[in-house]
Amino acid sequence: MTTLAVKKAEAFDLLCDSIASDKSISHRCAMFSLLSDKPSRIRNYLRAEDTLNTLAIVKQLGAKVEEEGDTITITPPKEASEPEDVLDCGNSGTAMRLFCGFLSSLPGHYVLTGDRYLRRRPMKRVTGPLTQIGAKIDGREEGNLAPLCIRGDRLRSFNYESPIASAQVKSAMILAALRADDVSTYREPELSRDHTERMLRGMGANIESWDTITIEPMRGPLEPLDITVPADPSSAFFFAVAAAIVPGSRVVITDVTLNPTRIEAYKVLKRMGARVEFTEKENRYEPIGDITITYNGRLKSVEVSEHISWLIDELPAISIAMAVAEGESVVRNAEELRVKESDRITCVVEGLKRCGVVCSEREDGYLIEGGEIHGATIDSCGDHRIAMSFAIAGLLADMTIEDVDCIETSFPNFLDILSQITEVKTWK
Ligand code: S3P
């Protein structure tokens, strides 16, 4: 188990041009390449634990993966082969839930498993609706907990209204719909990140989205992907918070996706008073560009209760900004935080309390009284985003974070970038 110590930082001016590639898009690149019959070319695929596990699964399903420099070429098999071993999604809820939808309609027998954190996370949100359209999936707690056994079969089309705005649930259902027997529709309470719709449409799938998403079954293989994965705005956001809280600082983040469902956290920082500028440079599958965040005086408190699905991965880092802002900040309607890589409501509040911040837990969020952050020893709860959020808090007061190996799941070079602005030390 690795421990990390982060020292208080001075003002910095940082060009972030090596932020980890987008995790959501990378998972989808690997998986969706199996929907074509031609090789897909992917530049800047995220080489982190989560997405390397997905790539390994794609290989187990029979794809050939060749790597040359920053490009990987995935050649799909003529027919997906039934893997002889279990498919290990590691820590990734995205991999497990999307593969549920993908494999449910693919003839064969598959077993999906993951690490001890993932095996505790709820899968009924995908196995429930999939079972209703004919999928054969079983697991502990009546199909709620991994390991999950899937026997792929022909699925029925559906009209599904999801009770939660979740891109993982939506993507699983869209993947199932692509091989269903007729046209399907899907509705969600608010638009969740829409990489699946954009990428599949780019590959020629017939998917229309207005209030309702309409998915036609594939008539044959889709076109291959030819894509450069942009930088991950959720990973970059740790450095955005850093610039917003360390007086006199600035960060420029380059070539990041500016998909509106992914940059809401930057808009929250703006509402809190930081200077935030977006510059769109190109648009291929997604708008892509640069974001500049400049310190602009002490932040102001904020209430966050809308577009929670657009903020779900960034709320731990936003909480660090709230902890030093002027006044009381509130997070509401965010019960989904409890079923992430950790219970992020409890972990954030426990961590902040250790730093001397006055805060309290609610069922669906928390209250944070802005003040000063004091140095402390924090448990990451095995959650990469908790570990990185408190590492950023360390820029204001020396911080020790225990169990930081999880950072490898999404952002392997996080500490290299952090060490450009402060002193960091790790030990086992
Ligand atoms: C993701 C969707 C979100 C997000 C996760 C990645 C995706 O999860 O938290 O990190 O790539 O589809 P939910 O669908 O559970 O909101």
Q: How far is the CA of 40 from the centre of ligand 1 (A)?
A: 24
Give the number of the atom of ligand 1 that is nearest the alpha carbon of residue 167: 14
Average pLDDT, the chain: 98
| Active-site pick, 194, 290, 313, 383 | 313
* C-alpha dist (Å) from residue 140 to 85, 115, 130, 144: 19, 15, 16, 6
Q: Whose CA is nearest to atom 15 of ligand 1?
A: 166
pLDDT at 179: 97
Answer whether 314's CB lies under 8 Å from 272's CB: no
85-121 pLDDT, tens digit each: 999 999 999 999 999 999 999 999 999 999 999 999 9
Q: How far is the CA of 2 from the centre of ligand 1 (A)?
A: 26
Length of the chain: 428
pLDDT at 81: 84
Q: Whose CA is nearest to atom 10 of ligand 1?
A: 313
Residue 324 belongs to what H/E stretch?
helix 315-324
**Contact partners, residue 208, CB within 8 Å, separation at least 6:** 214
Bond before 147 cis per omega within 30 degrees: yes
CA atoms within 13 A on the CB side of 328: 6
Q: How far is the CA of 167 from the centre of ligand 1 (A)?
A: 5
The pair of structure tokens assigned to 324 is 């030093």
Q: Whose CA is nearest to atom 13 of ligand 1?
A: 166
**Contact partners, residue 217, CB within 8 Å, separation at least 6:** 157, 177, 178, 179, 180, 181, 182, 183
Helices within 83-122 (DSSP H only): 93-104
* C-alpha dist (Å) from residue 331 to 41, 223, 353: 41, 42, 16
CA atoms within 13 A on the CB side of 332: 7
**Cα pseudo-dihedral 89, 95, 101, 105, rounded to 10:** -50
Ligand 1 pocket (Cβ < 6 Å) reads: 24, 94, 166-168, 171, 193, 309, 312-313
26-65 pLDDT, tens digit each: 999 999 999 999 999 999 999 999 999 999 999 999 999 9
Answer whether 72's CB lies under 8 Å from 64's CB: no
**Contact partners, residue 401, CB within 8 Å, separation at least 6:** 3, 4, 5, 6, 377, 378, 380, 387, 390, 391, 394
337-365 pLDDT, tens digit each: 999 999 999 999 999 999 999 999 999 99
Q: How far is the CA of 56 from the centre of ligand 1 (A)?
A: 20
Tell me whether residue 416 is one of the annotated catalytic residues: no
pTM of the model: 0.98
168-213 pLDDT, tens digit each: 999 999 999 999 999 999 999 999 999 999 999 999 999 999 899 9
Q: How far is the CA of 317 from the centre of ligand 1 (A)?
A: 16
| DSSP one-letter code for 222 | B
The pair of structure tokens assigned to 11 is 């003002």
**Contact partners, residue 187, CB within 8 Å, separation at least 6:** 160, 161, 162, 211, 212, 213
The pair of structure tokens assigned to 189 is 């309470």
Q: How far is the CA of 94 from the centre of ligand 1 (A)?
A: 6
Radius of gyration of the chain (CA): 21
Give the number of the atom of ligand 1 that is nearest the alpha carbon of residue 169: 14
Domains defined along the chain, listed by start? 3-21+230-427 (3.65.10.10), 23-228 (3.65.10.10)
**Contact partners, residue 89, CB within 8 Å, separation at least 6:** 53, 54, 57, 95, 96, 99, 112, 113, 114, 118, 146
Q: Which of 54, 172, 36, 160 is nearest to 103 (CA)?
A: 172
What whole-number distance in Å separates Cα of residue 423 and Cα of residue 6?
6
Q: What is the mean pLDDT of residues 216-225?
A: 98
Q: Whose CA is nearest to atom 5 of ligand 1?
A: 94
Give the number of the atom of ligand 1 that is nearest the alpha carbon of residue 196: 12
What whole-number distance in Å separates Cα of residue 244 and Cα of residue 239?
9
Q: How far is CA 220 from the centre of its chain?
A: 30
Beta bridge mates, 320: none
Q: How far is the CA of 115 from the centre of ligand 1 (A)?
A: 17
Q: Which of 31, 24, 75, 15 is nearest to 46 (CA)?
A: 24
**Contact partners, residue 173, CB within 8 Å, separation at least 6:** 101, 126, 129, 130, 158, 160, 162, 184, 186
pLDDT at 80: 81
Q: Whose CA is nearest to atom 4 of ligand 1?
A: 313
Ligand 1 pocket test: pick from 169, 193, 333 the residue with the most ligand atoms within 8 Å of its Cβ.
Answer: 193
The pair of structure tokens assigned to 416 is 């290299």
